[in-house]
Amino acid sequence: MQFTMLHPHRDAAYEGNDSSCVLRIEAGGQSILLSGDIERAAEAQLVRDQPEQLASDVLVAPHHGSRSSSTAAFVAAVSPTIVLYSAGHRSQFGHPSAEVVQRYEASGTVTYNTALSGALTLRLGGESALVPPQEFRQTHRRYWFARATPESARLHGVDIQGEE
C-alpha cells in the first residue's frame, strides 16, 4: 500500500477549503484519491503541476460535489471509474450539485452518494477488477423494507401475483 500526499505543498499560500489535504492511496494496482474540500484554484494547480499523479480508479469528490469544485479539467485528469459523494441526508447545501453529478456521469463514471447510500465500504487491491462499494442502506435495510418471499406471503394469506 502506498500513500502519496499531493496537496498542499509546504510553501503553499492556500487558505480555507483550498488548503485541504489531497491524498492518493494505491493498493494492489488500484487507487483512490481523497480530495478533501479543494475548490477550483487547488484543482487547477494539481492539474497543472501533477497531472500524472491524479489518475485514480476511485475519487471522493472534492468539496462534497459542490459547484465550486470538480472542474472539467480535474474530472478529465482524474478519470475515475467510481465517484463517491460525501454528503449529508437532506443537506441544506444541496450537495452534490446536479451540474457536477452530470459532469461525472457524462464521462462514464458510476457515482455513489452517502446521503442516499449511507456509509460506503470499499476495498482496494483485493480483486483483479475494481469491486463497487457496499452501500450500508442496501445491506442493512429496515425490516419493513424486506421483500416477502412467496412462501412467507402464502403463510400470511397474501397472493403475490407473477412471482414464484
Give residue-wise pLDDT tens across range 21-32: 999 999 989 999
User: Which pLDDT belongs to residue 156?
Assistant: 62
Q: Where residue 135 falls among pLDDT bands split at 50, 70, 90?
A: confident
Strand ranges (DSSP E) for the chain?
2-7, 22-27, 30-34, 58-60, 82-85, 110-113, 120-121, 134-135
Domain span at residue 41 reads: 2-136
18 grid coordinates: 483550498
pTM for this predicted structure: 0.77
CA gap 163, 51 in Å, rounded: 52
Domain count, the chain: 1
Residue 164: inside a domain, yes or no?
no
Residue 39: inside a domain, yes or no?
yes
CA gap 55, 25 in Å, rounded: 11
Residue 157: inside a domain, yes or no?
no
**What CATH number is associated with residue 60?**
3.60.15.10
More reliable by pLDDT, 35 or 139: 35
